[in-house]
Structure 1
Amino acid sequence: MTRFDAADPDDRRALFVDAIAAHEHRESPFLTVEAEPIPADEPDDDAESAAPPWVQYGDGTLNLDCTDEELDRLKSLLDEFSAITIDDLHRPEQAEGTNVRLTARTDPERVAQFLDRTFLAVYERPDDYRVWAAEV
């Protein structure tokens, strides 16, 4: 794998496919992709709100954190991806939001499409958002 970020939709999906292939080749426990953070409007904004969204993938399992609103959007998105299903929802008492584990019974290209749509639809990133393969 020679590149680690992309902002064009086709390049992002190719990056996701390449990251999955590198992850499988290296037999790493998981890979992490994250979108660039949206800059905070105010210097006093909570740093947590500016944290970039991320998704982990390993052995056909996707893992992500989301707010209640993002979870609703994720559930709607899953209507388009019948081979990807919610496996577990975990709401830690000490944290806001939900950790979601999904099972993906599909090929890397379809997972790449799902990842791109997740950042666009669930995390509401703009069409030209930049994503990084943060850990492979």
Structure 2
Amino acid sequence: MTRFDADEPRERRKLFAEAFAAHRERASAFVTFEVDHEENSDVDEQGSSARQTQSGDGEDEPAPWVQFADQTFNVDVTDEELDRLKSLLDEFPELRIDRMESPDAAEGTNVRITARSDANRLAAFVDRTFQAVYGRDEDYRAWVAAV
């Protein structure tokens, strides 16, 4: 891979597909995608704000990320994001939730999604996850943080 970020829909999906191919070619442990840390998310139709990169008390919160390893996506979501993730999975019948964990000390849920598909379809899922689940605009910037 020669580039690690993109902010246009077509270029992001191409970047994501290339990252999946590099991950497989290198037999790396995982590949991780993140959104630009300085970008805030939109407010959805119901007026609920998706995750922000800074909490109301001024403390930085981690930006949304999606990780993939062993044919499994790994994401952390709030309750509202979990509902949106479940709806998004209707668009991707080849993906299914394998496991959900909500530790008492955490304010969200870690979701594992089994994904057996080609790199382009996996890339489409990552792009849609950042938009539909985490509320990013169509022109959000994404990074391949680890391959």
What range is the shorter-chain TM-score in? over 0.9
SS of 2:2's partner is coil
Aligned to 1:7: 7
Between the aligned partners of 2:26 and 2:107, the Cα distance in structure 1 is 33
Structure 1 residue 135 and structure 2 residue 123: aligned?
Answer: no
Identity %: 57
Relative distance call for 1:102 and 1:41 in structure 2 (3 A) is closer
Instruction: Give the unaligned 5+ runs of structure 1.
Output: none
Aligned to 1:79: 90
The residue type equivalent to 1:16 in the other structure is F
Aligned to 1:45: 58
Q: Say whether the 8 Å CA contact 2:54–2:60 is kept in structure 1.
A: no
- Provide, for residues 15-57 of structure 1, a one-character-per-residue CA deviation record: whole Å limited to 9, x for no partner: 0110011111111110100011335689952312xx2100001
The count of residues paired between Structure 1 and Structure 2 equals: 134
Return 33-42 or 92-101, whichever deviates more: 33-42
Relative distance call for 1:77 and 1:21 in structure 2 (3 A) is same
The residue type equivalent to 2:130 in the other structure is F
TM-score between the two structures when normalised by the length of structure 1? 0.93
Structure 1 residue 109 and structure 2 residue 109: aligned?
Answer: no
Between the aligned partners of 2:70 and 2:105, the Cα distance in structure 1 is 28
- Deviation of residue 59 (structure 1)? 2.1
Aligned to 1:54: 65
- Structure number with the higher helix fraction is 1
TM-score between the two structures when normalised by the length of structure 2? 0.86
Relative distance call for 1:41 and 1:30 in structure 2 (3 A) is closer
Aligned to 1:97: 108
Return 21-30 or 65-74, whichever deviates more: 21-30
- Provide, for residues 95-117 of structure 1, a one-character-per-residue CA deviation record: whole Å limited to 9, x for no partner: 11000000012111111001000
Relative distance call for 1:47 and 1:112 in structure 2 (3 A) is same
The residue type equivalent to 1:94 in the other structure is A
Q: Say whether the 8 Å CA contact 2:6–2:142 is kept in structure 1.
A: yes
Structure 1 residue 118 and structure 2 residue 111: aligned?
Answer: no
Instruction: Give the unaligned 5+ runs of structure 2.
Output: 41-52
